[in-house]
């Protein structure tokens, strides 16, 4: 099993009604060199300009992105190639990121390589420091840019720092 840190940018609040614009993933290991990046054409006519603006793309640009089915098939193939066993999904905001990745996998490929569960990075940190008011974001090294690969790398760096702080995690 390997932890795969994922970050999603979307043009609205939920999949199906709105679209995943792009996502990034990184295998959590010291080098942080194994990454995946996908940009997806919208699946809906609905979109929220403020949500889309976070990604840095215009609606016109997203309409030129790749077919979602193709991107999700490529992501599944990348996971199969890079991870022995079942990959473990982890993200900064798994309530948001997981819903998009899960929906897109099931909708476009009829399977989810991650299974049916995910891990929340912030919750791990709160448990590690035994304080629910604490935040892990100071542990990132890579600047949070809203490019999903940068953001996934920064979150993976935080997880590696938590391991150095005593979190028992097999990488």
Q: What are phi and psi of 3, to 5 degrees?
A: -85, 135
Phi, psi of 27 (to 5 degrees): -75, 125
Write out the E strands in 11-130.
Answer: 20-27, 35-39, 88-91, 119-120
Q: Is 146 a catalytic residue?
A: yes
Query: Which letter does DSSP use for residue 138 in this model?
Result: G
Strands 20-27 and 3-10, bridge-based pairing = antiparallel
Give SS3 for 157.
Answer: helix
Closest CA to 26 of 163, 148, 169: 148
| Catalytic residue of the set 107, 138, 144, 146 | 146
Which residues form the catalytic set?
146
């Amino acid at each position: 099993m390997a932890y795969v840190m994922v970050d999603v940018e979307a043009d609205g609040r939920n999949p199906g009604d709105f679209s995943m614009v792009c996502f990034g993933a990184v295998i959590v290991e010291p080098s942080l060199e194994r990454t995946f990046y996908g940009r997806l054409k919208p699946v809906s006519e609905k979109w929220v300009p403020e949500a889309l603006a976070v990604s840095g793309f215009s609606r016109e640009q997203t309409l030129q992105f790749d077919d979602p089915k193709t991107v999700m098939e490529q992501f599944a193939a990348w996971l199969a190639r890079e991870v022995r066993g079942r990959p473990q999904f982890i993200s900064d905001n798994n309530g948001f990121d997981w819903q998009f990745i899960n929906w897109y996998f099931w909708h476009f490929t009829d399977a989810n390589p991650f299974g049916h569960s995910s891990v929340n990075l912030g919750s791990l940190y709160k448990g590690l420091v035994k304080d629910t008011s604490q935040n892990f974001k100071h542990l990132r090294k890579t600047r949070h840019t809203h490019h999903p690969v940068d953001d996934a790398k920064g979150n993976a760096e935080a997880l590696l720092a938590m391991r150095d702080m005593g979190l028992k995690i097999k990488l």
